[in-house]
């Protein structure tokens, strides 16, 4: 039975900053950010958005009445959880109007858990072929003002429906995965910003990719010739390019050109948005699917998922004939064109306003055009609203 990604949808808030402005404010050469890191713009997350609202906003376009009545598994992958106990997926179930006889669960392993969610969904559908599973990967990438990680912030969510006979991508049963307990990036319970050993994290990412790629080739007998595109987790676009360059010498000249062109297409959206943590790999996939006109059904795509701490997975999927039907038409370009640019001073003010602590507080929601918003905190309870 073919199982995989049937539909995909994306959300990121309506605000952004230019990386050239950030470089200027931080006394850096803009080319370090634009070329050295490979980021042009960065999403700014207003206090009225969090991992739950962004997840709901991403999933909303996929919801139909039939789905609301039949969905019985909602998997929420995040490392920006808003509660130490209650799952963000329980909020999603209510906000999206999903029937109550459903399992709802939150997963955590840094940027990796979206991939685990996808694989769990595939296994569930293998046992229950008539069901669909909603997988939502949503995060706020937050390192802190004036830190070296600041240029790699961002945020947003990708929602995916997993089913039998999927419209977009079948998941091949060929995953290679590994774990190593390392401290390259983490966020203690008391912190709202990530701690990171930046250079070390980039090295571990590359080591994981190489080891899993070699293991994949050994276990499956496939070579780079079998792949039409490689898609990467993109904490910043240069990181994925470094991964690709590790395996390019295995391809002939023509294929090298093709893989580089596909990579360019896959990093287009991340370059404008920044890191999405759990959703980043799947935003790269969306970017590849939308921005590469010549992708042929039947193409084998290789996907590399990496979550600090660290866990990685490399697997492949086969592009399906009607893959465009599973995407929300023009969604990301529309969203990007409607965003509002901020000055660095405005961004810094917003960055400090993120809802924290337990004090009652009302948030100004009128400037946030999103369907789902966080309206404040009352009696230590988050107040989520559907605006339209
Ligand atoms: N023009 C062009 N390029 C320039 C330049 C200029 N004027 N100035 C510098 N550069 C280049 C540098 O040569 C370097 O390129 P290479 O990596 O190819 O050598 C690049 O710009 C970055 O320069 P630095 O290494 O000096 O940058 P930095 O010390 O400020 O830190 C960083 C960069 C480590 C990525 C930092 O932003 C960071 O810690 N980010 C967060 C951690 C992260 O994203 N890690 C990725 C792996 S972990 C992961 O994947 C999980 C996750 O999502 C977090």
Specify whether 92 is located in the same domain as 7. yes
Q: Report the pocket of ligand 1 as residue ranges, CB < 6 Å.
A: 29, 31-32, 35-37, 111, 148-149, 151-152, 185, 196, 198-199, 201-202, 205, 233, 235-236, 239, 275, 277, 306, 308
Show the tokens assigned to 158.
Answer: 């990708």
Kindly state the percentage of the chain with pLDDT values over 90.
Answer: 98
This prediction has a pTM of 0.98
Specify whether 256 is located in the same domain as 194. yes
pLDDT at 355: 73
- Residue whose C-alpha is closest to residue 359's, from 379, 342, 374, 334: 379
Specify whether 269 is located in the same domain as 250. yes
Q: Which of 322, 340, 364 is the last residue of a domain?
A: 322
Kindly state the percentage of the chain with pLDDT values over 70.
Answer: 100
Please tell me which residue in 18, 106, 111, 150 is annotated as part of the active site. 111
Specify whether 202 is located in the same domain as 348. no
Mean pLDDT of the chain: 97
Please tell me the total count of domains within the chain.
2
Give 23-41 pLDDT, tens digit per residue: 999 999 999 999 999 999 9
Sheet holding 372-378, edge to edge: 361-362, 372-378, 381-386
- Residue whose C-alpha is closest to residue 296's, from 320, 267, 261, 317: 320
Specify whether 136 is located in the same domain as 227. no
Of 113, 148, 313, best ligand 1 pocket probe by most atoms within 8 Å of the beta carbon: 148
Query: What average pLDDT does this structure show over 193-216?
Result: 98
Report the run of H or E that residue 161 belongs to, with start and end. Answer: strand 154-164
Read off the DSSP letter of residue 111: B
Q: Which of 283, 306, 322 is the last residue of a domain?
A: 322
Q: Which of 299, 322, 345 is the last residue of a domain?
A: 322
Give the CATH number, domain containing residue 183: 3.40.47.10
Give 55-91 pLDDT, tens digit per residue: 999 999 999 999 999 999 999 999 999 999 999 999 9
pLDDT at 289: 98
Atom in ligand 1 nearest the alpha carbon of residue 280: 53
Question: What domain range is 176 assigned to?
Answer: 171-322
Specify whether 294 is located in the same domain as 333. no
Identify the band that residue 359 occupies on the pLDDT scale cut at 50, 70 and 90.
Answer: confident
Give 248-262 pLDDT, tens digit per residue: 999 999 999 999 999
pLDDT at 146: 98
What is the full DSSP assignment across 287-298?
Answer: HHHHH-TTPPTT
Please answer whether residues 79 and 73 qualify as being in contact, where contact means their C-beta atoms are separated by less than 8 angstroms. no
Specify whether 240 is located in the same domain as 190. yes
- Sign for the CA dihedral angle at 12, 373, 138, 25 comes to positive
Give 319-329 pLDDT, tens digit per residue: 999 999 999 99
> Rounded distance, CA 18 to CA 22, Å?
7
Atom in ligand 1 nearest the alpha carbon of residue 185: 54
Q: How far is the CA of 28 from the centre of ligand 1 (A)?
A: 12
């Amino acid at each position: 039975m073919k199982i995989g990604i049937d539909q995909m949808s994306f959300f990121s808030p309506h605000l952004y900053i230019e990386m050239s402005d950030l470089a200027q404010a931080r006394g850096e050469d803009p080319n370090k950010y634009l070329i050295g890191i490979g980021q042009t713009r960065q999403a700014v997350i207003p206090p009225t958005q969090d991992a739950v609202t962004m997840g709901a906003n991403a999933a909303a376009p996929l919801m139909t009445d039939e789905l609301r009545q039949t969905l019985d598994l909602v998997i929420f992958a995040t490392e920006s959880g808003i509660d130490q106990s209650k799952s963000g997926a329980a909020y999603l179930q209510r906000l999206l109007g999903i029937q109550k006889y459903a399992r709802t669960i939150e997963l955590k392993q840094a940027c990796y858990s979206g991939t685990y969610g996808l694989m769990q969904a595939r296994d569930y559908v293998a046992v229950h072929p008539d069901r669909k599973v909603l997988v939502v990967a949503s995060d706020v990438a937050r390192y802190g003002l004036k830190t070296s990680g600041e240029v790699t912030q961002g945020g947003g969510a990708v929602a995916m429906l997993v089913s039998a006979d999927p419209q977009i991508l079948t998941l091949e049963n060929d995953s290679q995965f590994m774990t190593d307990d390392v401290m390259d990036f983490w966020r203690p319970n008391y912190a709202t910003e990530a701690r990171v050993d930046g250079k070390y994290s980039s090295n571990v990412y590359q080591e994981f990719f190489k080891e899993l790629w070699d293991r994949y080739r050994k276990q499956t007998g496939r070579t780079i010739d079998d792949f039409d595109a490689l898609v990467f987790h993109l904490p910043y676009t240069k990181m994925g390019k470094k991964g690709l360059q590790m395996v390019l010498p295995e391809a002939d000249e023509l294929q090298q050109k093709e893989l580089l062109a596909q990579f360019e297409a896959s990093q287009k959206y991340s370059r404008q948005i920044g890191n999405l943590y759990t959703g980043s790999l799947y935003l790269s996939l969306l970017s590849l699917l939308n921005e590469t006109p010549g992708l042929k059904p039947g193409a084998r795509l290789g996907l590399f998922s990496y979550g600090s701490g660290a866990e990685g997975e490399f697997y492949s999927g086969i592009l399906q004939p009607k893959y465009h039907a599973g995407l929300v038409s023009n969604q990301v370009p529309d969203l990007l064109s409607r965003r509002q640019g901020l000055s660095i001073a405005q961004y810094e003010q917003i960055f400090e306003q993120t809802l924290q602590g337990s004090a009652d507080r009302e948030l100004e929601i009128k400037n946030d055009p999103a369907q789902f918003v966080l309206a404040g905190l009352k009696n230590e309870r988050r107040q989520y609203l559907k605006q339209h």
